[in-house]
Structure 1
């Protein structure tokens, strides 16, 4: 697992890079505010219900949550499952909102 800042993530998104963005928050959090990531709650990752992202093991996968704690745990679990290139978004959506607002 590596870390990525919200600024680095936004730059990748604006550049049009194809990114695999995973939002590991709960569905109600995702509905309130999201930046377009694929919703895979931490609970599903913990119970290895990752069929939706299984094919990304060799690719760069960027994981975020509200503050960066759940996504760090998700990255560690994914790493143990054989994912080679996981990134944790430092500060999560709290940092995103602080930096860029809700856009």
Structure 2
């Protein structure tokens, strides 16, 4: 797992043809706004969240965020334990995101 600054995370994401964007916030938080093309996978769903992760392609690069960076950091750790090699946590999360948003 790598904790990346907003700028580095955005640059890597923009230039990555193998990227998947995951928002691990609740459905309510996601409904208030998100980064375009993000998939909502609520980390608070526990085992259901793990099942959703198991369905993902481990060869992809995953850019993960939450509100402030804590839950997404946990999600990246879980992903690493499951064999995902490229999971990138957005430091500061959506609350500090200055890039494009869908509201």
TM-score range, shorter chain: 0.7 to 0.9
Q: 1:27 to 1:50 in 2, by over 3 A?
A: same
Task: Give runs of aligned pairs for residues 25-36 of structure 1, distance below 5 A.
Answer: 25-36=25-36
Q: TM-score, normalised by structure 2?
A: 0.79
Task: Give runs of aligned pairs for residues 53-68 of structure 1, distance below 5 A.
Answer: 54-68=55-69
Task: Give runs of aligned pairs for residues 1-103 of structure 1, distance below 5 A.
Answer: 1-12=1-12, 17-36=17-36, 37-44=38-45, 46-47=46-47, 48-50=50-52, 54-96=55-97, 99-100=98-99, 102=101
Cα deviation, residue 16, structure 1: 7.5
> Where does the alignment leave 5 or more consecutive residues of structure 1 unmatched?
none
Residues matched between the structures, number:
99
Check the 8 A contact 2:35/2:100 in 1, yes or no: no
The answer to which structure has the higher helix fraction is 1
What's the RMSD between the two structures over aligned residues? Answer: 2.2
> SS at the partner of 2:64?
strand
Q: TM-score, normalised by structure 1?
A: 0.79
> Where does the alignment leave 5 or more consecutive residues of structure 2 unmatched?
none
